[in-house]
Structure 1
């Protein structure tokens, strides 16, 4: 028992009740049901009353994760897609009285210092892109509710997953090219070890396989214009018949294909049809404007935040992937027959 002018602490309450400090936090935070017994909760409340214990509200908020703050983990802040995703997530969070802390995990600089060691207690939950999965290495157990974006729905990581129907987007782009008569197709794939890009590759392969005389080649590139230009140049000058169409995993990759085609003397779409993914501002800055799969990143972020808020409320998140659609512009045309 605390003596003198010393203010009683949760440790004093735990000692008097014969329980752990964690149990004290659960009971006094009214989160004990199903986690400690009724008798234990009664002992804790009685001990707190007898000691005259009054919790430090700010400290309790930090311990119990009741600061109404969400951590959004993304691979980078510099991409238009993730900036839009943040906008959608933050808007929904604000509508429900939550704030959003942004944690970027940029590619190529190694793992950043984990936000979970010091900030875990100050967070209500985490919304994370699978492309930044390395940043989640320190998140273990059930300490924070987690909703994953662009993630394998069969995975056991997280309480829920929210996905764009990226497989259907890749199918739409590939089917568009096949319908235009293209039979030699190149898939310029993002060289990123992520479920979302693996899913795209599966969809492209499956769609090409539906046409008996169609062939598919695959080249990989980092998501950068220069990297895509290098990979596309190599693929388009490889021995054998040149591809007449390219399916790109990202609009930046498509821009690299444009540069490679120009330097090889190929005209888009006369000699080479090109499709992208994302429908970034870049898609209409290119000449000709790019046929691409539109991914509504802002809607994606909003759906992800709603799913996390549902988890926090003990509700079931809305099921089903978010539809995507192909925007046809002038970078694709029927196969040219010499």
Structure 2
């Protein structure tokens, strides 16, 4: 009986693995640390890994980090932790990082420039190997090396980026509404001054021009990215115009839920009196009535990809700037319909 079997609360060690296989601990260490190539036979390596699995052996990350002179920790830096969009982002990034032997810490910031810069300066003094920075400014990234940063939803010269083709998705959403017969389409925009949100507004205006429509500034209202912001923004859209919009495209599902609240207060039915379309495809979009038509953004896959790209940067020679693109998908549910005549 080995020591782990005698005491089930004792964490298995490489010495336990060595005893089980009947070899030296140094040979086990070569295999478990990935240094066995050409030094330990394939058969013996397999036997060592099988023994490690049977004992539920987990390598000591702290010791490995000390040997390598690295913390083996990534920082996922995101805005607005209250936004449920970021839960699957973190899950994807953390799962991929753990596969590759890294931990992930989650760091929240607001979109103000001073907060971003203070946060980056603070993080750079801590034991973090690399950063996934979501929707961050060029000035803030200048405080960090290009060799340990991956950007998400922003493109800056010299940095790896993970991007979503938001303009294509917004056009799909607007074309869906036009296909239903809508021409009075409003935009509930978030008061977030970053590239991904600027792209939503820019594409909305370009689409109006492409359709030969006159842009109506009163049909584009900016609101805080929150449930209450969505409600107040919708009340402004639906109450201030002589010609009420028949459809609203929202910058996020969070805002769309607020629109539902405003519509109820105004006695408007969705989708009979007002069509609503969101962006993100949050889980809650399937749990409101009627279920929300929305653009799916692959949040979890983006988190996985960001962690992969960052770890590759950390463990390999720096490569040329790379941009990975993700596409959106229109999820048609029950919140959009033809306008009433």
The two structures have a TM-score, normalised by structure 2, of 0.72
Could you say which residue in structure 2 is the equivalent of 1:221? 223
Deviation at 1:64, TM superposition (A): 8.5
Choose which of 130, 141, 144 in structure 2 pairs with 1:125: 130
Could you say which residue in structure 2 is the equivalent of 1:185? 185
Partners of 1:127 and 1:308 within 8 A in 2: yes
Counting only pairs closer than 5 Å after superposition, residues 26-65 of structure 1 correspond to structure 2 as none
Counting only pairs closer than 5 Å after superposition, residues 143-162 of structure 1 correspond to structure 2 as 145-151=148-154, 153=155, 155-156=156-157, 159-162=159-162
Q: 4+ residue runs of structure 1 moved beyond 3 angstroms?
A: 58-65, 110-121, 136-139, 213-216, 315-320
Deviation at 1:256, TM superposition (A): 1.1
Deviation at 1:75, TM superposition (A): 1.4
The two structures have a TM-score, normalised by structure 1, of 0.73
Deviation at 1:197, TM superposition (A): 0.2
Q: Is there any run of 5+ residues in structure 1 with no aligned partner, and where?
A: 1-57
For residues 78 and 172 of structure 1, what CA distance do their matches in structure 2 show? 27
Partners of 2:161 and 2:324 within 8 A in 1: no
Aligned residues: 274
| RMSD of aligned alpha carbons | 2.9
Of residues 266-275 and 302-311 in structure 1, the stretch that sits farther from structure 2 once superposed is: 302-311
1:300 matches 2:305 = no
For residues 114 and 336 of structure 1, what CA distance do their matches in structure 2 show? 50
Q: Which protein has the bigger helix share?
A: 2
Deviation at 1:116, TM superposition (A): 4.3
Could you say which residue in structure 1 is the equivalent of 2:115? 111
Partners of 1:306 and 1:317 within 8 A in 2: no
SS in 2 for 1:292: strand
1:92 matches 2:96 = yes
Counting only pairs closer than 5 Å after superposition, residues 223-238 of structure 1 correspond to structure 2 as 223-238=225-240
Of residues 241-250 and 66-75 in structure 1, the stretch that sits farther from structure 2 once superposed is: 66-75
Deviation at 1:257, TM superposition (A): 1.0
Change in 2 beyond 3 A, CA 1:170/1:147 = same
Partners of 2:253 and 2:280 within 8 A in 1: yes
Partners of 2:280 and 2:296 within 8 A in 1: yes
1:101 matches 2:105 = yes
Deviation at 1:316, TM superposition (A): 5.2
SS in 2 for 1:183: coil
Change in 2 beyond 3 A, CA 1:118/1:293 = closer
For residues 207 and 218 of structure 1, what CA distance do their matches in structure 2 show? 13
